[in-house]
Chains A and B, each alone.
Chain A
Amino acid sequence: CRHGFSNVSPLPFQNEELRNLSLSGHVGFDSLPDQLVNKSTSQGFCFNILCVGETGIGKSTLMDTLFNTKFESDPATHNEPGVRLKARSYELQESNVRLKLTIVDTVGFGDQINKDDSYKPIVEYIDAQFEAYLQEELKIKRSLFNYHDTRIHACLYFIAPTGHSLKSLDLVTMKKLDSKVNIIPIIAKADTIAKNELHKFKSKIMSELVSNGVQIYQFPTDEETVAEINATMSVHLPFAVVGSTEEVKIGNKMAKARQYPWGVVQVENENHCDFVKLREMLIRVNMEDLREQTHTRHYELYRRCKLEEMGFKDTDPDSKPFSLQETYEAKRNEFLGELQKKEEEMRQMFVMRVKEKEAELKEAEKELHEKFDLLKRTHQEEKKKVEDKKKELEEEVNNFQKKKAAAQLLQSQAQQSGAQQTKKDKDKK
């Protein structure tokens, strides 16, 4: 995807061949900017800041100092297994301006031993916000005018005050982020660097950014009211900041400061650090521009890449125009359909397998039953055989007994008749 257009927008309506008409009296449309602002005031503004930096580098303290508020935070531990993003929203009010502020923190950044993937959760988070907006924009029935914008408008990149140069993690991360978000690099805990070292450090950082092609946020210089202040401030990048919500008595006033045995570092003293410059640039001068750049540049780039990725292109005059909404939804439905089909297939396969297994088991059970029956029958047969044989034997035994009895009887009869005969014979004599 190619990068977008230039930062400079032309003066209104100069390109077109339009007649300038002179008015003969006061019409009253000079109230338009006020009408516009009143609308915005009643709706409120969204501003989302992403703080990227190592644990303990002072992100939460700086946010507290910037917005003069104690935001909730417990210090994070150094034991995080990976980088995760924590977002918190607040509603701030100053006179009649309501600001919906969201601060996103990178928890665990820089703590791991292997930091190869550290940038990924950050990029994913930023993309997710763009995606959410894109989804809303592509809906048929949408409500963009009261959409709570969660896209990141400014990324404060906290550079550790080593005094030497950027870490490779810093370069890699910033390179990955520079086309997605407005990056404002700052040197954290700047009170640990001596003044002469600070100047060298800043130059080194800026030249490293340039030589690595990292595009940081450019404070706009095309609008005459802010061009001067923006140009002056740009020279001091990256801003060396110190954060503190503690107040110390300086002279006869209380001021935000850090108290050391060797002196007091005043947060809002421009000789001590660049905190005031950061506040000017981030909030008081360029907040609206940061929001606009996010919407017209970074978001458009994301949108364009996303849609081109999905296979869309703008039409040439001959062919019919494309419907983004329709195609996007159609592709999504197709994808869902495929998913469903796959799911169905898997379910079918599962059911089939279950059936098969069931059948197998049934078969096995049947076999077992059969075997059992067979055994039973065999057993019974044998039993019967044995009983038959037993009966036979008994019969034989009976027969034998009968025969024996009969034989005995005969014998006894024979004996008796023999004895009788003998007796008779005796008598005769």
Chain B
Amino acid sequence: MDPLRQSPSPSSSQASSPRTLSCEGLGYVGIEAVLDQLKIKAMKMGFEFNIMVVGQSGLGKSTMVNTLFKSKIWKSMMPGLRVPTPQTLQLHSVTHVIEENGVKLKLTVTDTPGFGDQINNDKCWDPILGYINEQYERYLQEEILITRQRRIPDTRVHCCIYFVPPTGHCLRPLDLEFLQRLCRAVNVVPVIARADSLTIEEREAFRHRIQDDLKTHSIEVYPQKCFDEDINDKILNSKIRERIPFAVVGADREHMVNGRCVLGRKTKWGIIEVENMAHCEFPLLRDLLIRSHLQDLKDITHNVHYENYRIVRLKESHALPRGPGWVNLAPAPPTAPGPAPTGTRASPGPAKVCRWAEDNSDEDF
């Protein structure tokens, strides 16, 4: 009698342990075709990607985004007509649909003007964390509906690019605070902004100091070591981790260099070519974010960060006293419960969140 065979009861859901068989023997079955089917389906549905840029004003965040996606994402942010620094931290999102070779991507970029610009920047990360958690909350609410949409719209932030000012020294307390808190809730990719003000040696030294700082404070930036699935991932990601944070320069103007048309910054002492690896590491950033790890960023957001948020929320609502009937998922607190809650809940503060969609006012406790 085959030990692998099982005869379960009529409503049993057990199956015997899988045996590996190769069906190459007698001819081609065609299982491979499922890959193409998947591709076709994915291209038909389109992709979503939500990115957030955080950093003080003047570090070139908007330009960087334009450079990354080779388009005028921020139409209104002309360098000359800089709007006055906002008094409070604001979050500003814009969404576009871009297409390349039949692949449609719905890109949402969230900017954070005013971050770190005040005299007192205490808790300036709260509105950002709040926004991130609000997107998780939205998704969660959709997910627990009885009648769900076929495809839940994904507004969760998949990647947060943090712009470190090129001081050349080490991470500042504001950077450390921010990175510590955010790395637990979202994928964070730190970059050295405006790297054209540092020489190559200065960059390397800066980079190493930053890496040491991150290690000292146990800050896990993307790609996180603990999510490497197999040896190939480890090898690939280790190479990336060695170079993080990337020293980047952004530019959305083209110039002629040696007969070629390149994106770059023109200065009196030369033209900094953005896509030249000798000049800056922008290609590494672009490749990481878009060409190789975009899906991975989304997967980690969905399988790890979102799940962590969900666990905390569901556990919380368990602990609350019950009202009449079956109450319920309590209204989300204005700032995150967060996977690593601080001792006290921060007050909402004077932040305002505005989006292209309707405005949700903060709920009162």
Contact = CB atoms under 8 A, between A and B. Distances in A.
Contacts of A45: 34
Among A45, A97, A104, A322, chain B packs the most CB atoms within 10 A around the CB of A322
A93 B21 CA distance: 7
B44 A322 contact: no
Given A18-B97, A20-B99, A287-B37, A320 B18 contact: no
A32 B144 contact: no
Contact of B314 (A25, A29, A325): A325
A87 B20 contact: no
A321 B33 contact: no
Interface in A90-145: 90-95, 97, 99-100, 102, 104, 107, 120-121, 124-125, 127-129, 132, 140-142, 144-145
Interface stretch (B120-128, B243-251, B323-331, B334-342): B323-331
A310 to B, nearest CB: 10
B10 A124 contact: yes
Contacts of B105: 29, 32
A244 B105 CA distance: 47
A56 B23 CA distance: 24
Contact of A296 (B47, B150, B315): B150
Nearest to A45: B34
A12 B44 contact: yes
A29 B294 contact: yes
A94 B24 contact: yes
Contacts of B26: 68-69, 245, 256
Interface stretch (A34-42, A183-191, A363-371): A34-42
B23 A321 contact: no
Contacts of B16: 87-89
Contacts of B28: 68, 94
B19 A9 contact: no
A72 B33 contact: no
A11 B46 CA distance: 8
Interface string A54-85: 00000000000011110010000000001111
A69 B25 CA distance: 8
SS class, residues of chain A in contact with chain B: mixed
B360 interface: no
A85 B44 contact: no
A86 interface: yes
A349 interface: no
Contacts of A86: 5-8
A91 B19 contact: yes
B31 A283 contact: yes
B291 A31 contact: yes
B42 A36 contact: yes
B216 interface: no
B30 A21 contact: no
A283 B328 contact: no
Contacts of B35: 37, 40-41, 97
A411 to B, nearest CB: 114
B96 A19 contact: yes
Interface string B85-98: 00000000001111
B34 A288 contact: yes
B38 interface: yes
A102 B103 contact: no
Contacts of A21: 69, 71-73, 96-98
9 smallest A-B Cβ distances: which pairs?
A: A12-B46, A121-B10, A288-B37, A35-B295, A124-B11, A284-B30, A87-B15, A28-B291, A30-B101
Interface of B: 2, 4-35, 37-47, 49, 68-73, 95-106, 141, 144-148, 150-151, 229-230, 263, 286-287, 290-296, 299, 302-303, 307, 310-311, 314-315, 317-318, 326-329, 331
7 contacts: A27-B68, A39-B295, A42-B229, A68-B27, A72-B2, A93-B22, A322-B326
